[in-house]
């Protein structure tokens, strides 16, 4: 699992352990299903979101599977406990004009501008996750064949096409890097001091450019990934292809993007279906 997931699970289990101590439960075998339900009720009272409660339960289930394998407990008390249903939120995406305005606005006459333009072009061109883009090295981009070699969740590898505008922006950035004599740094995106650009810095730079353009809601990496997915689906309708490009293990994860532009889908339906119109 990713470091982010491990950190969340660790925090969830500490919270669960503190709850147990409050109930005078000092051993994991004494933690029963009724206690799990009480824990969920407490999280509800603390007004945690349904999604957060689901994750807490997932953390407990995973941990007890480990305890069963180690022979410490005989059953999983969280297995039968249902989490509250999370309300499905549709991704907030940017339309094509907003994307164009955002990307074309970045001035490539400076080190920061060259780098940030290349970052945003690559996010939108190839639908990369934040950690995937931050982890790229120079050798991972094939400029000739216009491909990027990505290491995704669970160290799964995939190859994703890179659009012409993103390739042009990356070339400008690489030339700028060379002018600043950053030859020894393997990372594709670096700071002025030469170190790999971290995920927080990338988030801050996107937020900065979003504010510059006056875009409502915060511009963040996943929003560009959403835009990539929804625009690709809108134009192609090929859910399986988009699933592969995004690196989703389960197509149900990709299906959320089919709901992004319902008005467009309704127009396609009205125009294409033989019995859409009542005539």
Active site (catalytic) residues:
129, 153, 222, 225, 248, 257
Please name the residues in contact with 207: beta carbons below 8 A apart, sequence gap of 6 or more: 218, 219, 220
Pair 197, 209: CB distance under 8 Å: no
- CB-facing half-sphere around the CA of 46: CA atoms within 13 A: 11
Query: What DSSP line would sit under 96-151, residue for residue?
Result: HHHHHHHHHTS-TTSHHHHHHHHHHHHHHHH---HHHHHT-BGGGEETTTTEEEEE
Could you tell me which residues are beta bridge partners of residue 196? 190
Rounded CA-CA distance 13/32 in Å is 15
Query: In the sheet that 157-161 helps form, which strands lie side by side, from edge to edge?
Result: 141-142, 147-151, 157-161
Task: For residue 62, give both structure tokens.
Answer: 């995973």
Nearest Cα to Cα of residue 63 among 4, 24, 1, 10: 10
Rounded CA-CA distance 202/116 in Å is 8
């Amino acid at each position: 699992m990713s470091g982010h997931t491990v950190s969340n699970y660790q925090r969830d289990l500490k919270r669960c352990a503190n709850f147990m101590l409050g109930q005078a439960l000092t051993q994991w075998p004494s933690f029963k299903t009724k206690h799990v339900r009480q824990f969920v009720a407490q999280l509800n009272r603390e007004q945690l979101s349904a999604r957060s409660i689901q994750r807490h339960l997932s953390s407990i289930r995973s941990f007890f599977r480990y305890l069963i394998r180690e022979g410490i407990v005989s059953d999983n008390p969280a297995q039968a406990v249902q989490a509250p249903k999370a309300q499905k939120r549709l991704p907030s995406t940017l339309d094509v004009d907003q994307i164009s305005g955002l990307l074309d606005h970045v001035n490539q006459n400076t080190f920061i501008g060259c780098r940030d333009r290349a970052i945003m072009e690559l996010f939108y061109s190839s639908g990369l996750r934040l950690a995937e883009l931050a982890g790229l090295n120079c050798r991972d981009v094939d400029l000739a064949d216009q491909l990027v070699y990505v290491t995704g969740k669970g160290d799964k590898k995939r190859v994703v096409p890179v659009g012409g505008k993103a390739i042009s922006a990356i070339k400008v950035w690489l030339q700028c890097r060379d002018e600043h004599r950053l030859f020894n740094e393997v990372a594709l995106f670096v700071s002025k001091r030469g170190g790999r650009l971290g995920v927080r810095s990338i988030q801050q730079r996107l937020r900065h450019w979003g504010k510059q353009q006056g875009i409502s809601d915060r511009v963040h990496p996943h929003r560009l990934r959403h835009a990539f997915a929804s625009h690709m689906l809108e134009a192609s309708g090929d859910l399986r292809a988009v699933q592969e490009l995004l690196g989703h293990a389960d197509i149900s994860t990709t299906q959320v993007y089919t709901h992004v532009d319902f008005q467009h889908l309704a127009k396609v339906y009205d125009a294409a279906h033989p019995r859409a119109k009542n005539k």
